[in-house]
Structures are given as structure tokens and as C-alpha cells.
Chain A
Amino acid sequence: MNVLEVKRLCKSFGPIKAVDDVTFNITEGSVFGLIGRNGAGKTTTLRMMMNIYTPDSGEILFYGKPVDNDFKKKVGYLPEERGLYKKMTVLDTLLFFADVKGKSGNDIKKSANEYLEKFDLADRKTTKIQDLSKGNQQKIQFIATILHDPEFLVLDEPFSGLDPINTDLLRQIIIELRDKGKVIIFSTHLMDFAEKMCDYISMIEHGKIILDGKLSDLKTKYAKRNISMNYSGDISFLKGNPIIESIEDFGNTTGIRLKDASQIQNLLKLLVDKKIDIKKFDANDISLHEIFVLLAGNKAGKEVQNV
């Protein structure tokens, strides 16, 4: 079932078309990734979803109803650029953020203390934010995002700046929240990360959605003509070969794209004939990164101004 539907969203700032006819749906109990480069229109789309910006046209439906200020109470938003009031204490900060969401009282206090306990910050309740380490500030920010028990979470790179132990802790909490039926959106430009965490993705480029769907389906669709392989030897003879469309070197692996899926066996034969030492030859695999480069890479160049 679609929890959130974004329909034909458009937004311009003066001459700049930041978001252009964006449509996607988010289903219950899923992790959704909105991916794209910096300035592609992710933030603007999210801001419209949060009702921070009013769209020029199009609409956003939450369980079939347009989003409004009350919808904000049901959302936990961790923006890419975060911040806290430096001079407030940890507990005051948490209670303030819950209060703006309309949640106050002893329940919230209790819940704040529980989260602090969980994140190993129970002894820092009266510490000022400015006296916390950056990692701890991140944790406080995350608690502030989920303290009011939102139905819908928007997280932008939540793991940056966290050590491995806290990363696991956070991952565990996110999965807990997903299992409780919360909808989670990741907006990121890190493809590896999106690939690991997301069930669904939408890729946005220059304000337009260029790819949208279930991650596994997309992979199957794009993997058909793709080979990912590890080898040693010189494969430069492949350049200019009529069956090859492109070759991408990703460091550890090399991605080869064929003009036609039926040529896979021919390619393998070609490599064996040239005595290339093949360590891995995966004919049905493509990383999200490769898909992204494939779709957006060629058009790279003009960075959109961040508004």
C-alpha cells in the first residue's frame, strides 16, 4: 500500500527549475532511497514533502490526504545540514524538539531518558550541546528526530560521523522502526549506502526522476547487458570491439556493458582466447553506482545551484 504519494511535483526559483515533474510512491514498511547528486533537487523535493516549500504545482498525499502542518508532527526529519542550539542542555534540547512536535509531559521525558540510556548518554543530560563530541551531537540529533515517535522518517546520511559501534546501534534502531511499520526515506548521494539499505529507490537528476522502482527489479533490468569482473592482464584490446558499448573501471572491479545481451558468451571466449586471467565474471550483476553512472554520468558537467 502506498503511504506517501508524490505526484507531478514542480518547483522553480526564478529561472532555475529545481524540481521538474517529480512523481514517486512510497510503500508501507519499506526503506526508500531518494538518490542523486548534490543540487539534483533532492533537498527541494524533501522540503516540499515537509511543507517547508510550497510546490508550484503537483501534490503530496500522505495516506491519500494532502500534507499540511499537522503532517509535520508525524514526521521525523534529519536534514543533511543539521544543527542544535549549542548552549542548550541535552535534555532541554530533546524536550524542545518534542515540544515543537506537540509532544510534552512526563511520557516524553521518560522516553528521552530511555533513548539517552540506549545511546549511552544518560550521564550527559545536563551537559550543554557545545561540550559534546561531534559523534555524540549526532546521536542527540538522531534521538531528537525520533523522540516524538514519528510515523515517517526522513534521514539524510544518518551514519556520517558515527563510529562502527554506534553505526550498528543506529542501523538496528532503523530496522526496528521499519519493522514497526514506519516509513523510512533516505536521501543520499552515496550509492553504496543506498544499495545496502534501500528497498526502493528514485534517482533524481536536474530536477527530473530518471529512475524509479524496486531496487532488485532495477538491478535485474540493468544487469542484462552488464558484466562485472575481476581479472589480471591487459584488456585494452576490447576497446573498439563492435560488441562492447562501454568499459568502466571501478578500481576493484571492472564493469563492461555490451551492445547486446546475447554477446556475453562471445566476450568470455574473447577473454579466454587472449589468455586473460579471469578471477570473477558476473554476468547478471550491476551496482547502483554503475546504474547511476550509466544514467547520469554522461550528462555530468553542470552542477545545479543549491537554492
Chain B
Amino acid sequence: MFNQRMLSILKRELKDKILSRTFIIMTLLVPLFMVIILALPTYLMTVDKDESFNITVITEDNTLTDQLKTEIGKIESVKQGLSKVEFLIKDETGLNDYIKENKKKILDEKITGVVYLPKKSTEDKLLRFYSKNPNNKNVFNRLRDSFNQVLTDNYFTGKKLSEDDIKYARTNVYFDTFRISKDEMIKAESKGNRIISFLLIFLLYFSLIFMGTMVMRSVVEEKNNRIVEVILSSVNSQDLMTGKIIGSAITGLLQMTIWMTPLILLISTSIFMMPEEFALQIDLSLILYFLFNFFVGLITFLGLFATVGSIFDNDQDAQSGIWPIMMLIMIPFFIAIAIQQNPNNSVGLIASMFPFASIIVMPAKITLIDVPQWQIIISILVNIFTMFSIFTLAGKVYRVGILSTGKKPKWSEVIKWLRYKY
């Protein structure tokens, strides 16, 4: 299989693909897109923190005013003078009048909201929040702690409780999240792996289709241009197909490796600062596994795309003939997305070791949870077996297909080609 003729084809293919404009543009654009995806959560969080507000706090008397001023003053944006808090003393009627008077300001969001503490709230902690957008959890959450603090303090003061008791009462319940894994220490769970898992399946999906279509087009072009017969007078169809597919697969691998660099840098250096919530629990071996799996998958799918290309002699027919392959990529893609919610479900389990599906589902799963080693090994073996079977099968259709022109063959004819002795 590896001979000088095949290598000549491979070299041309590499040169042709790597220097093509589409390849260069795609190679550059995708990491940009990845950086945006990775940076988005970080950015959103900073935006949230910086959001300033303008709050009016209305109490019925001035007993809590000083304490509230102190507590709210501790909020970062208030401290920096970005957010403003006004304290007024009014009763319920006064409050209603105030809201009527300032309705326009509230609707224009010049006043983010009005917090009203009725006298009874010192007993039941029931406050009122008037706002154009009362569900803005962001402002709400930051204020809530301050009010809770003041009201709790006020409630327990003079009730003969120790400082520790009060401190306990003040504290909210807080969940620390942990992920249980078999062979490593219990570690804090992060949203980062979900994002990476999604990113990996997206890249797999995208690249399989992108490279596949590229190969299919080039097969159709060779057939359409009638160049194939010139080449076949020098190499046999097996060499031609092998050279083309391996050349393209190497191109794809190179591209994927370039795409992985931001991730590799993320893991091994501290160039990107990720918020703790998004910290990644992946290591280089996962990336290596991913690239290997991708290469095997790429060869498998390129074999299929090349076959379809060889059957048809124009792009349109070929486009309409690729749906069976698209199904083989799309269904696993959706399974991989579905298992983000529950990586352990049975569909995911079967798909992760099923021919074709395994190529996309297994890496997604490995990123999310600890997959037993035997499953990974089965998945790899299944993928390699599929690759060789497809290659043999593709070769048989390809050798007949590339030389047949004229009317569009029926699928039943294509099956007959498998038995032709060429």
C-alpha cells in the first residue's frame, strides 16, 4: 500500500490542500471562534460584576439606616462610587407617592429599584423590591446578603445570644460542588469540562464534514476533469484513493492540532486565566487521545466521502448522495450533545462503542465523566476495525466508480460493483 506512486499522490494532495485558501482561512478562523467561546463566560462574569445600580432604600423609621449604610457600603461597586444608594424614611403611603413621582426614572432605569422595608420585616424578613426588571438576580443577589445581615443582627441583638450564634445565623447555606471520580482525588466540579466537551464534539463534527466535503469534491473534480484516467495509467486506483485519503487526513490532523493549541496552552500554561468555576480538568493525554481518535475517524469518513465522490460525476448529484454519511455524523453528534445532561445514559453508553458513533460520542463522554478503561479500549478497537472495513469496501466501489461516467448509477448498481473483478 505504501509505495512511491501512492506517496506522489499523497504529496500532491498535501500541497494542494494545505496551500488552499479555504484551508488557511478555516485554520485561522476556528481558533478565533474558540477563544471567543472560551472567553465568553469570563467576560460575562466581569460584565455582571461591573454592572452598576442606583437603589433607593426606604424604611419606616431610622433604626436600621446606619447599619444598612455600613453593610451596603461594603459592596464593591458602591465602595467605588459606581453604584448609588439613597436612604429615605417613609411609610407605606409615602412609598406609593415616591414611586408615582419617580415612575419615569424607574422606567428609564435611572433608578434601578426601590427596596422597601416595612416595619414588620424586622420580624419576618419580608422585603419588597420595586423595579422595571425585578428579576435581575444580579443586583438582587448582591443586595440580599446585606439586608439579611442587617435584619439578622437586629433580630438577635439583646436576645442573649453569643457572637458565634449570631454569626451562624447570619450565614447562608452554601453548596460546594464536587465531582466523584474513580482513580483521582475528589475534585471540585467545573463548568469548564462541559464547554470543552461541547467544543470537541463541535470541532469533530465540523472537521469531519469540512474535510469530507473537500475530499469528495476533489474526487468529483478528478472524475469530471477526466484527469483520473491519466493518473490511473500511472498508479492503480487503490494507490490513488489511499494517497488522497491519507494526504487529506494528515491535513485534517494538522489543522486539528493547530486548533488544539489554545487548549494545550490553557492546560499547560497560565496565559489564559479562567475563573475557578470554569477550570478545566483535562490533561494532555486527553488531547492526544482526541487527536488519535480524530485521525482514525477522519480516515473512516474520508473513505466514505471519497466513495460517494467516485459514484457521481458532478457536485450536485454528489451533494444529494451524501445523506447516508451525514446521518452517520449528525446522529452521533446529537447523541453527544444529549449526553451533556446525563453522560451515563444507556444510549450514550451504546453509542460510545458503536461503529461510527463511537468516533464522536466517546471523546465527548471521556471529557465529561470517567469512562471505564475497557470501554475506551473497545471503542478504539471498534473504530480501527471500522476504518479498515470501510477502506476495503470503499476501494472496491471507488475503482469502478471513478471510471464510470454518464448516467447517475442506482444504489443497487453500486452494490453490484462490489463484486466486479477489476
A interface residues, Cβ below 8 angstroms from B:
13-14, 47, 50-54, 56, 69, 72-73, 75, 77-79, 81-88, 96-97, 99-102, 141, 144, 154, 306-307
Contacts and interface: CB of A to CB of B under 8 A. Distances in A.
A100 B231 contact: yes
A83 B16 CA distance: 17
Nearest to A148: B234
9 contacts: A47-B229, A47-B232, A56-B421, A83-B230, A99-B11, A99-B12, A100-B9, A100-B235, A101-B234
A52 B16 contact: no
A79 B229 contact: yes
A82 B226 contact: yes
A147 to B, nearest CB: 12
Nearest to A88: B16
A96 B403 contact: no
A97 B229 contact: no
B131 interface: no
Nearest to B233: A77
A75 B405 CA distance: 24
A77 B421 contact: no
B416 interface: yes
B5 A50 contact: no
A81 B222 CA distance: 12
Nearest to A85: B227
Given A72-B234, A99-B11, A100-B234, A54 B421 contact: yes
Nearest to B419: A14
A109 to B, nearest CB: 15
Given A81-B229, A154-B233, 14 more contacts: A50-B233, A52-B232, A52-B236, A52-B237, A54-B421, A56-B421, A75-B233, A83-B222, A83-B227, A85-B225, A86-B225, A99-B12, A141-B230, A307-B404
A56 B16 CA distance: 37
Nearest to A86: B225
Contact of A102 (B4, B12, B404): B4
B175 interface: no
A97 B11 contact: no
Given A13-B420, A87-B16, A73 B234 contact: yes
B168 interface: no
A22 to B, nearest CB: 18
Listed from nearest, the 10 A-B pairs whose CB atoms lie closest are A83-B225, A83-B227, A77-B233, A81-B226, A83-B226, A100-B234, A79-B229, A99-B8, A100-B8, A52-B232
Contacts of A144: 230
B252 to A, nearest CB: 19
B406 interface: yes
A52 B229 CA distance: 9
Contacts of A13: 420
Contacts of A154: 233
B178 interface: no
A57 B89 CA distance: 107
Interface in B316-363: none
A209 to B, nearest CB: 23
A53 B229 contact: no
Contacts of B234: 72-73, 77, 97, 100-101
Contacts of B225: 83-86
A73 B405 CA distance: 26
B71 to A, nearest CB: 70
Contacts of B229: 47, 52, 77, 79, 81-83
A246 to B, nearest CB: 35
Interface string B409-422: 00000001000111
Contacts of B422: 53-54
A240 to B, nearest CB: 44
Contacts of A73: 234
A144 B227 CA distance: 12
Contact of A72 (B8, B11, B235, B404): B235
B281 to A, nearest CB: 45
A88 B235 CA distance: 19
A237 to B, nearest CB: 48
Contacts of B235: 69, 72, 100
B411 to A, nearest CB: 16
Contacts of B4: 102
Contacts of A86: 221, 225
B16 A97 contact: no
A52 B235 CA distance: 8
A56 B420 CA distance: 10
A279 to B, nearest CB: 45
B8 A96 contact: yes
A14 B226 CA distance: 24
**Which one of B233, B416, B420, B421 has the greatest number of beta carbons of chain A within 10 Å?**
B233
